[in-house]
């Protein structure tokens, strides 16, 4: 086995497309988004002769609190390979690169189930890098994310939609209130469209996102990040900008990613002035229906607050969690919970512990 710097975008994405979970954050295209934002992508590939065993994309983050390499939902390892050994070798190589760049640590948020073993020589991170409590809708039967088991054979183009779940099944599995709010939005004249010119129409989203950020007080992605994401993914037909209109105004908008057969609700924003108009419910339902039409296998709502599924529905275990409000919204569409292992840090220098102390304080202030 050899660990090399990747140079073939097509081979990289082909490998990713064949795995059970195919995080667009590990795609070659996502690395180029970060490059446009001044954060260098570092891509390593594990090979055995002519076969790819695993990939790992890290992003060099020149943060003031401590330069580091961030690995978002990686590494991604072939289903029948030695995951522990390949992960060890990929992260060892990344650690060497991190030292050469003056980093103080690696931050790794793998897409592993919550009961997975900790990465050797790592510490539990004070902060999360990505969503770790995932709410998702399986759009094919059987549920291809269940237990993160072995992946099924790739879906051939002529088979798209076979084994799919119907709109009627999804509607019946929703919370009654969610179904009613979707219908109410339609009756009140809300319309939802997929932008045909997302580069130009992104201004609607940015305005609503800025309003939403100020209202809820969260740390946002930059406008440059959103522009780069649209610029790179939209020409590949791997993202959609949705616009919900009411009385001639755009009152809600979202950016949905749909790469490698999986749709992700990545960014959303809405107008406080029209908070009583349930546009966001119809927007989500439109995106879910579009995912079904594409033959996607999973609809990923991304992060929710910690909790458990019960016969009465999803029960939040931390009522004051910052995601509590959005959790009620997302779980109302029906679906399943997937808990992931917590983000892990691999120290590279003693300066890491200064960053760690700062982030522990930051976590306490945020309420996580």
What pLDDT, in 10s, does the model give residues 63-102? Answer: 888 899 999 999 999 988 999 999 999 999 999 999 999 9
- Is residue 336 a contact partner of residue 299, using CB atoms and an 8 Å limit? no
Q: Decide if pLDDT at 160 tops 80.
A: no
What is the reported pLDDT for 151?
A: 42
Q: Is the pLDDT of residue 280 over 80?
A: yes
Report the relative pairing of strands 307-310 and 2-5 from DSSP bridges.
Answer: unpaired
State whether 345 and 334 are in the same domain. Answer: no
Answer yes or no: do 321 and 362 share one domain.
Answer: no
Domain shared by 16 and 75, yes or no? yes
Percent of the chain with pLDDT over 90: 78
Q: Are residues 157 and 298 in the same domain?
A: yes
- Residues 239, 313: one domain? yes
Q: Are residues 302 and 351 in the same domain?
A: no
Residues 251 and 287 in one domain: yes
Confidence of residue 147 (pLDDT cuts 50, 70, 90): low
Share of the chain above pLDDT 70, in %: 94
Same domain, 174 and 303: yes
CA distances from 7 to 29, 43, 69, 72 (A): 13, 8, 19, 19
User: What are the C-alpha distances in Å from 179 to residues 96, 313, 333?
Assistant: 52, 15, 8
Query: How many structural domains does the chain have?
Result: 2
Mean pLDDT of 332-349: 96
Domain identity same for 230 and 95: no
Q: For residue 104, what are the contacts with CB-CB under 8 A and spacing of at least 6?
A: 66, 67, 68, 347, 348, 349, 351, 352, 355
State whether 277 and 359 are in the same domain. no
Which CATH number does the domain housing residue 50 bear?
3.40.630.30
| More confident call, 20 vs 30 | 30
Is the same domain home to 256 and 358? no
- Residue 288: give the domain boundaries: 134-339
Q: Quick one: 242 and 321 in the same domain?
A: yes
């Amino acid at each position: 086995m050899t660990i090399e710097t990747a140079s073939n975008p097509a081979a990289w994405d082909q490998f990713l497309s064949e795995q059970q979970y195919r995080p667009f954050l590990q795609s070659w295209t996502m690395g180029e988004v970060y490059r446009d934002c001044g954060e260098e992508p570092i891509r390593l590939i594990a090979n055995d002769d002519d076969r790819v065993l695993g990939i790992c994309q890290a992003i060099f983050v020149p943060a003031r609190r401590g330069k580091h390499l961030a690995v978002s939902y990686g590494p991604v390892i072939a289903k029948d390979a030695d995951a522990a050994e390949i992960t060890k070798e990929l992260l060892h190589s990344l650690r060497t690169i991190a030292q050469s760049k003056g980093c103080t640590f690696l931050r790794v948020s793998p897409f592993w189930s919550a009961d997975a073993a900790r990465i050797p020589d790592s510490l539990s991170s004070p902060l999360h890098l990505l969503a770790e409590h995932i709410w998702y809708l399986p759009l094919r039967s059987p549920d291809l994310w269940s237990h993160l088991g072995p992946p099924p054979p790739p879906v051939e183009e002529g088979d798209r939609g076979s084994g799919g779940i119907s709109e009627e099944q999804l509607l019946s599995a929703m919370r009654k209130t969610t179904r009613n709010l979707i219908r109410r939005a339609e009756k009140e004249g809300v319309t939802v469209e997929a932008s045909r010119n997302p580069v130009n129409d992104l201004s609607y989203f940015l305005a609503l996102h800025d309003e939403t950020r100020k209202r809820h007080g969260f740390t946002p992605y930059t406008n440059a990040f959103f522009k780069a994401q649209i610029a790179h993914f939209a020409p590949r037909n791997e993202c959609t900008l949705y616009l919900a209109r009411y009385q001639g105004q755009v009152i809600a908008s979202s950016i949905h990613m749909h790469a490698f057969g999986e749709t992700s609700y990545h960014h959303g924003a809405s107008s406080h002035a029209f908070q009583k108009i349930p546009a966001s419910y119809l927007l989500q339902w439109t995106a879910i229906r579009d995912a079904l039409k594409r033959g996607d296998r999973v609809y990923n709502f991304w992060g929710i607050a910690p909790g458990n599924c019960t016969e009465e529905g999803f029960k939040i275990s931390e009522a004051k969690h910052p995601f509590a409000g959005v959790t009620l919204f997302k779980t109302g569409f029906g679906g399943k919970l997937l808990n992931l292992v917590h983000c892990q840090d691999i120290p590279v220098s003693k300066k890491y512990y200064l960053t760690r102390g700062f982030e522990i304080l930051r976590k306490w202030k945020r309420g996580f």
